[in-house]
A and B are shown apart, each in its own frame.
Chain A
Amino acid sequence: MAKIIAGVGSSHVPAIGAALDNGKTGEPYWKRVFSGFEKSKEWMARTKPDVAIVVYNDHASAFSVEMIPTFALGCAAEFPPADEGWGPRPVPVLKGHPQLAAHIAQSVILDEFDLTIVNKMEVDHGLTVPMNLLFGTPKEWPCRVIPLAVNVVMYPPPTGHRCYMLGKAIRKAVASYPEDLKVVIFGTGGLSHQISGPRAGLINSKWDKSFLDNLTKDPKKLTRIPHIDYMREAGAEGIEMVMWLIMRGALDDKVEEVYRFYTVPASNTAVGHIILENRRKAAGKSKPAARSKQAAARKATHRIASKGR
């Protein structure tokens, strides 16, 4: 069966992509940012997911104001990088997983989340920057990608609670997919930043730290944060953080925080990053018990069948 094994939270600042594409990663300013992801790349190389579900938002690239879907799931076989005004970013085309994506769509819609299905979509820095931060700059991406675009551009975005519950529905959908697949889910955007109006440049490190702390320990508390608090405390564009709650909802209630990084600024934004794993130990404890019960039952009645597994 497919299984979500871990969640990754990461900012998706466009200037990070520009620094990568223009060979600026060695400059002190950018080194400070990129050095925070070195361990993460090693973690990802060890984890080797088959599929990454990437929750992100489009920034007037694939969606203009003609259509503004709240949740749009990418079900295509591939997703080319979008031209954001300087030509498409020089990153490989992302290969989708249409079968798993369709399965997720069917499952979560029946769970009352009215997703938009997208069968043709270009993806912008919101998705490609976190991919670079976690996978580096390979010639081909080492896993399949299922984009989940969330509207956080036009107010109101979905509530934090709605996002968290969608995460839970995605988790259930993935768990019912028959193929053995290791899945990692990304929540991207944030952390505190405001890039519009006279209050642009706002950063709230205290808020960000508390958000990261609760993401690990008490995500339900985060689901009760109203939009006004995000906008007031973390900046008008800081509201992107609700997307991290989809990632968190898709994980176990109790998770292990295996890595965290935070720095200010990258361009106009506070950069936050976290890696959360479903607790292997806890799973290890409960599974053998369950297995031994099953094994005992099998021994009694289905010996041959269980051996065949």
Chain B
Amino acid sequence: MARAQHDYDDIPGTFVFDAERSREGYGINMFCMSLMKEENRKAFKANEAEYLKRFKLTPAQTQAVLKRDYNRMLELGGNIYFAAKLGATDGHSFQHLAALMTGSSQQDYAKMMLSGGRSVEGNRTKSGKGKPAKSKSKSKSSAKRK
């Protein structure tokens, strides 16, 4: 069954973790939750694909996890607070994940945050402006705002 359309699907660059995604992503999120235990982190790192079989992931979800495609994980029902545990298992800071999801370098992302963050201008609707603008141009525009 196709995913029902919601008003928030029009927000660009955003996968709202709604009840439907929560149902769909139960396996991903429970997998991420399991990484709170050291023994599980070790088992996962030893053989990722094998470890993931303990959870009922779809092939697409499994691929997204193995490839560390965080946006795809979110799209398929992963939640960011859970996904962050996978990032931590890999030894990455949260800002590293954020940069990864936005397609910019961590340095550029950090710079954008320091200059006021990503502006909402041009990032409200898909119908209006399409994809969220790249962080570089955004950091300029948010600097202008100040």
Which residues of A does B touch, CB under 8 Å?
14-15, 59-60, 64-66, 68, 83, 85-86, 153-156, 192, 194-205, 207, 227-228, 231-233, 236-237, 264-265, 267-268, 270
Smallest beta-carbon distance A182→chain B, Å: 34
Give, as a whole number of angstroms, the nearest-CB distance from B105 to chain A.
13
CB distance from A13 to the nearest CB of B (A): 10
Contacts of A60 in B (CB 8 A): 29, 32-33, 79, 81-82, 85
List the 6 shortest-distance A-B pairs measured between CB atoms, nearest first: A203-B117, A199-B13, A198-B13, A196-B80, A155-B18, A201-B118
Cα–Cα, bound, A156→B55 (Å): 26
* Bound Cα distance from A227 to B32, whole angstroms: 27
Query: Taking chain B's interface residues, is the majority helix, strand, or loop, or is none over half, making it mixed?
Result: helix
Q: How far is the CA of A83 from the CA of B37 in the complex (A)?
A: 10
Kindly count the residue-residue contacts between A and B in the assembled complex, taking CB atoms under 8 Å apart. 143
Known: A154-B18, A197-B74. A264 touches B95 (CB 8 A): no
Are A85 and B36 neighbours in the complex by a CB distance under 8 Å? yes
A contact residues around B71 at 8 Å (CB) = 197-198
Kindly list chain A residues whose C-beta atoms are within 8 Å of the C-beta of B39: none
B66 on interface, CB distance cutoff 8 Å: no
Inter-chain contacts of A232 with B (CB < 8 A): 8, 11, 120, 124-125
- Residues on B lying within 8 angstroms of A by beta carbon are 7-8, 11-19, 22, 25-26, 29-30, 32-33, 35-36, 71, 74, 79-82, 85, 88, 94-95, 98, 101-103, 109, 112-114, 116-120, 123-125, 131-132, 135, 138, 142
Name the contact of B98 in the complex, choosing from A59, A154, A200, A205 (C-beta under 8 A): A200
Given A59-B81, A65-B79, A268-B95, also A155-B12 (CB < 8 A): no
Contacts of A66 in B (CB 8 A): 30
Neighbouring A residues of B114 by C-beta, 8 Å: 265
- Docked Cα-Cα span, A237 to B11, in Å, equals 13
From residue A94, how far is it (CB to closest CB) to chain B in Å?
21
Closest CB of chain A to B89's CB: distance in Å? 8
What's the minimum C-beta distance from B134 to chain A, rounded to whole angstroms? 10
Q: Please judge, given known A-B contacts A154-B17, A198-B71, A200-B98, whether A65 and B118 are in contact too, CB under 8 Å.
A: no
Contacts of A197 in B (CB 8 A): 13-15, 71, 74, 101
Q: Which residues of B contact A270 (CB under 8 A)?
A: 117
B98:A195 contact, CB within 8 angstroms: yes
Cα(A237)–Cα(B74), bound, Å: 14
Q: Is the CB of A154 within 8 A of B14?
A: no
Residues of A within 8 A of B142 (CB): 203
Contact, CB under 8 Å: B16 / A65? no
B72 smallest CB distance to A (angstroms): 11
Instruction: Please state if A83 and B36 are interface contacts (CB–CB under 8 Å).
Output: yes
Return B73 CB to nearest CB of chain A, in Å.
Answer: 10
Kindly report which residue of chain A lies nearest to residue B23, judged by CB atoms: A65
Residues of B within 8 A of A65 (CB): 22, 25-26, 29-30, 33, 79, 82
